[in-house]
A and B are shown apart, each in its own frame.
Chain A
Amino acid sequence: MSTQIPSAPRRRDPWRTIWQIVTSDGLLVVLLLATAAGLLAAAWLPQLPAADPAAYARWFSETQARFGKATQTMQSLGLFAVARSFGFRALLALLASTLFLRLVERGGRFLSDAERRAWSDLFPLLAHGGGLVLLAGLLVTHLWSWRVEGLIVQSSAQVPIPGTESWVALEENTSKLVHSAGVVAHVEAHGPGVRVSAVDGQGNVLTLQHAAEPALLAELTLALAKGQHFAIPDAQLIAQLTPQAGRPVKAQTPVLVQVYRYPPIQLATETIVEGDAELTVDDVTLRLVSVPYAQVTATFNPGLWPTGIGIVLAVVGLAGSIVRSVHRSRTGEED
């Protein structure tokens, strides 16, 4: 008669437990839901504008009107700057870590189990890898990219991007943007603009003085995003150019031109011009050549390619995983 000796109870390996939790679907679900909540909060709550005192003042008054006394509380919780909050960044870091560990686990299983390996098992690996590359691309974007908004570009003259060695311009005779290497530029808006010159009755070129610059110039190029004015000191004339209100401002928006004599200031003539025009006041001929402007945003992003590759890999991996799971569940049902 033999007696069975009860085996010693297996000690639970805490590292294995931690590994199973970290690579579990449950943790990934929680992280995805938390990240989704952050992104949805950023979409539905007004977010703090980038460093711009005027925009911040406008944003603050609108937000306070909308949320009242809750504004301060919501601001201290970081709900108005979700993407820049420590919590959201920590969440993305946790998500990246989880994806990496899951990739290691599934990759190891894929490589070690040669008998049951199938090509379709690559799709989950692609999805995880793509997600990691995408997050890495977003990190590079956050650390090393820059973005400049509101650049006014007219004609083919290169406009330097402040604080950088890059530039943007409009191609000659077209409205196509050209720029220095590595920059991505896109047009936010078009609007009317003019190149102004003036001659007197004898054909002598008269100098012009723009309000924003003290220098006297033979020719001025003005972008008419809003009204602009300039003086012709030799003829004692001031001209004001205003894009027509009441319609969306486009490249061919008509412009109201008003010319005043001074002193004393009195209106000499006013007319609406569309495209090229010539005005004569006293014996001064004002020539206006239409030079529409483009309001451009320029971006430099070294993380552009990793982000794009990550998106492609993640989409392909996920699409394959979805099709694979549907096929497997259908095969399971048929069995």
Chain B
Amino acid sequence: MGYATPLIGLSLGALLTALGLALWNRFRQVSGLPPAIRAIKWTAAGLLLATTPLVWIESHPALILHLTLAAAIATPPVGRHHHLPWRDAMTVLPALALAGAGFFLDTGFARFEGHTISPMSLTVAVYGGLAARVLGEALSTLANPAAPVSRLFDALYLLLTLLVGANALAVLWQQGVVWEASPGESGLPGVWLAWSAAWLIPRARARLKAGLIAVAAILLIALALGTG
């Protein structure tokens, strides 16, 4: 075991602490907790970001790299400081799940086969991390529909559209067809269609939109991990 696994464990502990404090703040409203939660999240994000290159250097399986990278992107509490009921707790959950899965898989609790790391798989892993952030916000909206909505979903949908379009054009140029050339690759266009459906739902239907965004985000995360 190298240095990466203990660092993933430390960041997992930090995220669990942040979740516990967020839940305590939700029910007790203790002053001074929100900045502490924020600081702990940044600490966890820093640990995960430092761990990601270590995972690659120590030749851990590609899936662990993707999980660590996605968790590192999902953790930092950027944006406006909205310490709303449930928001701090919900936004931690996806990063916690990713870091937890990475830790347990890396410590040998499950056997799995890895794939080779490619620029495309790393790009999709980054998108998976962003999707985990979107999932956290969607869960927060499901718990509290009155919460202000960020632009992250729209921004990620735009990036996803550009990625899918560029990939399709590249495959079309190289292989002459978009579909038959790579039947196993229809996952990314399928996920993009789910995001398109979520984007079409008006903001006025907050819970329905948030539910569909959560499903679409989970699909993108699953796709990102599936390439690892």
Contacts and interface: CB of A to CB of B under 8 A. Distances in A.
- Classify chain B's interface size: 35 or more
B169 A40 contact: no
Given A36-B191, A145-B177, A301-B177, A315 B197 contact: no
B154 A322 contact: yes
Interface stretch (B29-37, B54-62, B90-98, B179-187): B179-187
B193 interface: yes
B203 A186 contact: no
Contacts of B226: 44
A326 B187 contact: no
| Chain B binding surface, main DSSP class | helix
B48 to A, nearest CB: 28
Contact of B161 (A40, A147, A183, A315): A315
Interface in A182-208: 183-184, 186
A301 B187 contact: no
Contacts of B185: 43
Nearest to B203: A329
Interface in B165-192: 165, 168-169, 172-181, 183-187, 189-191
A249 interface: no
A233 interface: no
A94 interface: no
A322 B193 contact: no
A138 interface: yes
A29 B201 contact: yes
B72 interface: no
Contact of A36 (B157, B193, B201, B203): B193
Contacts of B193: 32-33, 35-36, 39
B176 A301 contact: yes
Interface string B140-168: 00000000000100100110011001001
Contacts of A322: 154, 157-158, 161, 199
B183 A47 contact: yes
A307 B178 contact: yes
A21 interface: no
Interface in A6-52: 25, 28-29, 32-33, 35-40, 42-44, 47
A315 B177 contact: no
A314 B175 CA distance: 21
A308 B161 CA distance: 15
Contact of A299 (B175, B184, B190): B175
Nearest to B195: A36
Interface string B191-217: 101101101111100000000000000
B219 interface: yes
A297 to B, nearest CB: 7
A39 B172 contact: no
B154 A314 contact: no
A38 B172 CA distance: 21
Contacts of B184: 43, 47
B165 A315 contact: yes
A186 B174 CA distance: 7
Given A36-B190, A42-B186, A311 B165 contact: yes
B168 A39 contact: no
Contact of B197 (A33, A186, A304, A326): A33
B201 A25 contact: yes
Contacts of A312: 165, 169
Nearest to B151: A326
Given A43-B187, A300-B176, A304-B172, 11 more contacts: A39-B187, A40-B186, A141-B177, A145-B176, A145-B177, A186-B176, A297-B175, A311-B168, A312-B165, A325-B154, A326-B154
5 contacts: A28-B197, A43-B184, A44-B187, A47-B183, A301-B176
